[in-house]
Amino acid sequence: MAQRVALVTGAARGIGAAIAARLAADGMAVAAVDLEEAATAGTVDAIRRAGGRALGIGADVADAAAVEDAVRRTAEELGAPTVLVNNAGILRDNLLFRMTEDDWDAVVRVHLRGAFLMSRAVQRHQVEAGWGRIVSLSSTSALGNRGQANYAAAKAGLQGFTKTLAIELGRFGVTANAIAPGFIATDMLRAAADRLGMPFEDYLAAAAREIPVGRVGQPEDIAAVASFLCSEEASFVSGQVLYVAGGPKA
């Protein structure tokens, strides 16, 4: 069987970097996409040092031309991408009455428009191959979260987007699923702790006390779920949203 090729967005650090590394360990060639190509160097180098094939690409996932170019480069340099992980995301948190139109548009643009453009570009290769996996990163914030009207709406939108892709693409051997992480220790949360004026370790400890399993999540916890959803064994799992939060969410 030819080596599968995965394209992971937001792959410079955090959850995206962990997913890229895990898919490479699973035997896939990986295109690590982030806003600046230089930012992907750590992810790409780690994969290559472990004996894998990887390519770093700089692209704004909300720019249609940049997306098309990223997918083209992936196909030319690694092979046709049949696995896509839509992970790229940003935060612009604020209470509704303080939230600007730019705050709203920026978050929806990256999360929703970015996932749409990437999925549209990659599905051509998946349909041609008769096989594909699309995994999009939602969030427990999709259930609603104070100060995150933009982020919550975008992450909830990704769930509807995922279910629709599953319906449209299933007949072509393509599955689409979403992962909704809970509290995961990443740089994004470090920035949230900084905004609160709280030491990061104290922020994590406070969160852990509210999580049934008694700890916060790590990027590798999400990567493990992505690994399964991108595998051959997950061929009968599609249109699902899996909350990975150390306890029940609904």
Query: Burial, 84: exposed, middle or buried (Cβ in 10 Å; 0-12, 13-18, 19+)?
Result: buried
- Do 40 and 33 form a contact (C-beta atoms < 8 A)? yes
Q: Is 243 a catalytic residue?
A: no
What does each C-alpha distance from 146 to 29, 97, 141, 151 come to in angstroms? 39, 12, 9, 10
User: What stretch of H or E contains 86?
Assistant: strand 83-86
Which position among 151, 161, 203, 243 bears the catalytic label?
151
- Do 174 and 126 form a contact (C-beta atoms < 8 A)? yes
User: What stretch of H or E contains 187?
Assistant: helix 187-196
Among the listed residues 156, 131, 128, the one whose alpha carbon sits nearest the alpha carbon of residue 142: 156
Rama region for 133: left / alpha / beta (φ>0; ψ in -120 to 50; rest): beta
Catalytic residue numbers, as ranges = 151
